[in-house]
Amino acid sequence: MALLGYARVSTDLQNPDLQTDALAAAGCDRTWIDHASGAAASRPQLDELVNYARPGDTLVVWRLDRLGRSVAHLVAAVADLDGRGIGFRSLTEAIDTTTANGRLMLHVFAALAEFERDLIRGRTVAGLAAARSRGWVGGRPTVMTADRRAAADELLRHPGASVASVARALGVSRASLRRYLATRAT
């Protein structure tokens, strides 16, 4: 059961000493340091730490935001660790998922993250409905302009004309031409 430290700073110019000192004082056997934004999808040192860790080990961070960029991301990361049998501990917030209180706090965060996602989803749906009621049509505009539709109709009248050859002649994808043909047939 090892304590494995993880520190992250956003740029190479920032100094991780505050974090590494705190992790060393907490008893971490080894510390991995990433120089990457919290929004970065790739954090190679974190990946290396997770691959190095064994069931029963605990990943330790100085503060929660060093591991996750949002509550939802943090909850997902800790759930992944839990699935691997790896504990999680945040020094500043005093959360330790190897204890009952720490697991409770994590579940509270998970509930808040789900609540936040539901609020965002509800606002998005309401906003889209309001926009549609004012005549807004979402999605990407069709490449099949009126001129292209007329040209497609004309080209497809010729014997032996294929969807692929007509699409190529019009400079559109076969899928775009097929979608137009499907709407024309109805």
- Cα–Cα distance between 95 and 38 in angstroms, integer? 20
Integer-rounded Cα Rg, in Å, for the chain is 27
Instruction: Say how many domains are in the chain.
Output: 2
By CB atoms closer than 10 A (0-12, 13-18, 19+), residue 85 is: exposed
Quote the pTM value.
0.61
10 catalytic? Reply is yes
- Position 137 in a domain: no
In a domain, residue 126? The reply is: no
Q: Which domain holds residue 166?
A: 146-185
Is there a single domain that holds both residue 104 and residue 22?
Answer: yes
Examine the domain organization and report whether 101 and 28 are in the same domain. Answer: yes
- Indicate whether 124 belongs to any domain: no
* 101 and 151 assigned to the same domain: no
Catalytic residue among 10, 37, 162, 173: 10
Domain-embedded: residue 158: yes
Same domain (yes/no): 16, 66: yes
* 151 shares a domain with 60: no
Least confident of 4-13, 69-78, 81-90, 136-145: 69-78
- For residue 89, is it within any domain? yes
**pLDDT digit string, tens, across residues 95-134:** 899 899 988 887 887 787 778 878 988 999 999 999 999 9
The model's confidence at residue 74, banded by pLDDT at 50, 70 and 90, is confident
**Confidence (pLDDT) at 14:** 83
